[in-house]
C-alpha cells in the first residue's frame, strides 16, 4: 500500500512540477526576448518618463506595447506583478519529487553498490551537499569575479568547469540515473536561489526607494539582470538532465559523465543561438548560426560515438534463434522476481507466474529490452544476452506455452 501512495505522490508532484516549470521557463524566455528587442524610443513623452526601451507586439488578436525604464519609473499607478512564484513552486515541487523518488528510496534509486555502498543517510547527505555546494561556489563567483567589468565570461568558464567536475564526481558516487538528475537539480537549485536571494530582494529594495521618493540604486537592476541571464543559459541543460532518466542509454555507459557534459554544453550553445537570433539589440550583423551548428555537431557526434557496434555473424545467428517461455521465466525468476513477486510488488507489477508475465509482456519488453531501465541500476546483473532473449521471445509473439 505504501508503494501505491508513493506512486500517486510521484505522479501528482511530477505533473505539478512540469506545469510550473513551463510557466517559469516561458516567462524567463519571454523577458530575455524583450530585453534583446526593446528599442530606444524617440517620442519625447516616453523619454521624459525615463523609458529606455520599448517595442510593439501582436498576439491573440491584441496589440501590446511593453516598455522598460532605465532604472525605475517615478511611480507605479497600477498593480505590480511579481514574477517569482513560478520559480519557487518549480523548485518546491521538484525537490519534493526528488525526495519522494530518490531520497526516500535512496537504496533503490541512488546507491550503486558497485561504486560505493552508501547507507541511505549517507547518500542523502552527499546528494544534498551537491545542491548546497554548487550554489555557494556559483554565488561566490558572481559576487567576486562577476562583479568586475567583463567578469561574466570568466564566471561562465569557472561555472562550466565546476559543472564538469560535478558531473564526473556524481557518476563516481551514485548510479548514473541519479547522478544525471542530481546535476540537473543542483543547477536548478541555483536558478531558483538566484530569484530568491538576489532578483526579488533587489527588486523589493527598488520599489521601497520609489515609494519613499528616494533615488533608486541601479546596482539592483544590474545584479538581477546578471542572474536572470545566467538562468536562461542554465535552462536547456537542466531540462536535458531531468529528461535523461527516461533514456537509460545516456547514463549507463562507462563515460556517462561525458554524455551529460556534452549534451548540457550543446543545450547552452543552442540557447545562445536563440538569444542572438531573437535579439534586435545585438545588431543586424550578429551571426548566431555558429552556436547552433556547434551545438548540433556535438549532439550528432555523440550519437555517432555511442552507436552500438555492428553485430558479428555469431551474434546475428544467436539473435535469430527462437526463445522459449521456459528460458524467459528463468530470467524473470533470477533477475526480476525479488522486486516483482509475491513478497514485493514494486509499481504493482508481478512476474512470478505465466499469467502475470503475459499481462505485463509489453511493459517487460519496454523496460528490460528497449529502455534497459530495469532491473533498476541493473542491481541483479542481467546480461545483454538475457535482454536479447526476452526481446526475441516478445517479438515472436510472447507465448507463455
- Give 279's pLDDT tier (boundaries 50, 70, 90): low
Q: Which domain holds residue 372?
A: 313-395
- The verdict on 175 and 138 lying in the same domain is yes
Q: Determine how many CB atoms are found less than 10 A away from the CB of residue 85.
A: 13
The most confident of 2-6, 16-20, 209-213, by mean pLDDT: 16-20
Comparison of pLDDT for 391 and 139, the residue scoring more: 139
| 64: three-class secondary structure by DSSP | strand
Q: Is the distance from CB of 259 to CB of 195 less than 8 angstroms?
A: no
- Give 169's pLDDT tier (boundaries 50, 70, 90): very high
> Does residue 23 register a pLDDT over 90?
yes
Q: Which residue has the cell 521601497?
A: 208
User: Which distant-in-sequence residues (6+ apart) come within 8 Å of 167 by Cβ?
Assistant: 179, 183, 257, 260, 261, 264
pLDDT of the residue at 386? 87
- The verdict on 347 and 222 lying in the same domain is no
- The verdict on 282 and 147 lying in the same domain is yes
> Does residue 1 register a pLDDT over 50?
no
Portion of the chain with pLDDT greater than 70, in percent: 96
- The verdict on 291 and 319 lying in the same domain is no
pLDDT of the residue at 158? 97
Q: Final residue of a domain: which of 277, 306, 335?
A: 306
- The verdict on 298 and 318 lying in the same domain is no
pLDDT of the residue at 35? 84
**Residue 6 included in any domain:** no
Quick: pLDDT tens for 146-163: 999 888 999 999 999 999
- The verdict on 213 and 338 lying in the same domain is no
- Average pLDDT (215-219) is 89
Residue 329: CATH number of its domain: 1.10.760
Cell of 249: 542509454
Quick: pLDDT tens for 85-128: 999 999 999 999 999 989 998 988 899 888 999 999 999 999 99
> Does residue 331 register a pLDDT over 50?
yes
The whole-angstrom separation of Cα 14 and Cα 110 is 18
Comparison of pLDDT for 309 and 179, the residue scoring more: 179
Quick: pLDDT tens for 72-90: 888 887 888 898 999 999 9
- The verdict on 132 and 257 lying in the same domain is yes
User: Which distant-in-sequence residues (6+ apart) come within 8 Å of 233 by Cβ?
Assistant: 156, 268, 271, 272
- Average pLDDT (167-193) is 96
- The verdict on 334 and 225 lying in the same domain is no
**Residue 98 included in any domain:** no
pLDDT of the residue at 283? 52
- Give 185's pLDDT tier (boundaries 50, 70, 90): very high
Per DSSP, the residues of 108-141 read HHT--TTT----HHHHHHHHHHHHHHHHHHHHHH
pLDDT of the residue at 281? 52
Mean pLDDT of the chain: 89
**Domain count of the fold of the chain:** 2
Amino acid at each position: 500500500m505504501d508503494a501505491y501512495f508513493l506512486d500517486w505522490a510521484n505522479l501528482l508532484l511530477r505533473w505539478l512540477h512540469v506545469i510550473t516549470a513551463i510557466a517559469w521557463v516561458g516567462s524567463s524566455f519571454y523577458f530575455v526576448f524583450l530585453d534583446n528587442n526593446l528599442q530606444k524610443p524617440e517620442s519625447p513623452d516616453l523619454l521624459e518618463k525615463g523609458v529606455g526601451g520599448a517595442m510593439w507586439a501582436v498576439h491573440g488578436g491584441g496589440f501590446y506595447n511593453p516598455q522598460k525604464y532605465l532604472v525605475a519609473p517615478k511611480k507605479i499607478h497600477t498593480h505590480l506583478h511579481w514574477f517569482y512564484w513560478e520559480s519557487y513552486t518549480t523548485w518546491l515541487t521538484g525537490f519534493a519529487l526528488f525526495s519522494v523518488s530518490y531520497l526516500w528510496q535512496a537504496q533503490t534509486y541512488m546507491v550503486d553498490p558497485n561504486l560505493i555502498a552508501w547507507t541511505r543517510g549517507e547518500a542523502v547527505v552527499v546528494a544534498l551537499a551537491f545542491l548546497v555546494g554548487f550554489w555557494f561556489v556559483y554565488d561566490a563567483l558572481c559576487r567576486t569575479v562577476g562583479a568586475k567589468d567583463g567578469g561574466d565570461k570568466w564566471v561562465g568558464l569557472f561555472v562550466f568547469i565546476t559543472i564538469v567536475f560535478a558531473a564526473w564526481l556524481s557518476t563516481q558516487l551514485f548510479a548514473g540515473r541519479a547522478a544525471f538528475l542530481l546535476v540537473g537539480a543542483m543547477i536548478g537549485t541555483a536558478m531558483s536561489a538566484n530569484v530568491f536571494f538576489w532578483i526579488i530582494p533587489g527588486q523589493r529594495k527598488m520599489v521601497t526607494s520609489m515609494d519613499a521618493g528616494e533615488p533608486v540604486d541601479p546596482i539592483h537592476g544590474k545584479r538581477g539582470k546578471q542572474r536572470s541571464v545566467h538562468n536562461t543559459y542554465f535552462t536547456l541543460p537542466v531540462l536535458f538532465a531531468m529528461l535523461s532518466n527516461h533514456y537509460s542509454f545516456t547514463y549507463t555507459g562507462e563515460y556517462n559523465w561525458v554524455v551529460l557534459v556534452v549534451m548540457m554544453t550543446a543545450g547552452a550553445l543552442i540557447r545562445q543561438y536563440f538569444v542572438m537570433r531573437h535579439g534586435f539589440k545585438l545588431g543586424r550583423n550578429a551571426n548566431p548560426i555558429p552556436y547552433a551548428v556547434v551545438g548540433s555537431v556535438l549532439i550528432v557526434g555523440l550519437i555517432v560515438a555511442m552507436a552500438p557496434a555492428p553485430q558479428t555473424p555469431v551474434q546475428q545467428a544467436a539473435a535469430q534463434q527462437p526463445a522459449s517461455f521456459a528460458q524467459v521465466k528463468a530470467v524473470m525468476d533470477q533477475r526480476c522476481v525479488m522486486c516483482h513477486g509475491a513478497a514485493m510488488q514494486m509499481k504493482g507489477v508481478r512476474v512470478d507466474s505465466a499469467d502475470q508475465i503475459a499481462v505485463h509482456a509489453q511493459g517487460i519488453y519496454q523496460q528490460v529490452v528497449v529502455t534497459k531501465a530495469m532491473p533498476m541500476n541493473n542491481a541483479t546483473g542481467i546480461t545483454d544476452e538475457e535482454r536479447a532473449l526476452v526481446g526475441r521471445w516478445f517479438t515472436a509473439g510472447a507465448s507463455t506455452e
